[in-house]
């Protein structure tokens, strides 16, 4: 399970799994607006991470970010870390 600490939102962390087909599973927000974030988690369940990232990137709430935008940022960090792991011998 990948864990991302959010910045600038009511939620504090986002946890999720990515399967071998790069699909998102088990998204869980820690903190934030429970009902809305459960809805976001259900809507993205099983979706390709690239699609979710593209769809949610740039959504704003308070300041220049939102919980959906933070999920897009978490996916970007996940992809960077995965890329780094494949580049190491």
- The angle formed by the CA atoms of residues 8, 9 and 10, to the nearest 5 degrees, is 140
User: What are the tens digits of pLDDT across the range 15-71?
Assistant: 999 999 999 999 999 999 999 999 999 999 999 999 999 999 999 997 899 999 999
- Res. 88: pLDDT tops 80: no
Q: How far apart are CA 74 and CA 80, in angstroms?
A: 10
In the predicted model, what is the mean pLDDT of residues 63-86? 95
Q: Where are the domains of the chain?
A: 2-87
In the predicted model, what is the mean pLDDT of residues 70-83? 97
Q: Is 64 in a helix, a strand, or coil?
A: coil
User: Six-digit token pair at 55?
Assistant: 């769809």
User: What CATH code would you report for 2-87?
Assistant: 3.90.1010
């Amino acid at each position: 399970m990948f864990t991302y600490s959010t910045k600038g939102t009511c939620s504090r962390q986002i946890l999720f799994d990515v399967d071998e087909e790069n699909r998102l599973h088990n998204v869980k927000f820690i903190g934030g607006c429970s009902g809305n974030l459960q809805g976001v988690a259900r809507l993205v369940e099983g979706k390709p991470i690239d699609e979710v990232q593209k769809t949610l990137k740039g959504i704003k709430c308070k300041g220049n970010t939102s919980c959906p935008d933070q999920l897009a940022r978490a996916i970007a960090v996940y992809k960077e870390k995965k890329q780094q792991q494949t580049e190491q011998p």
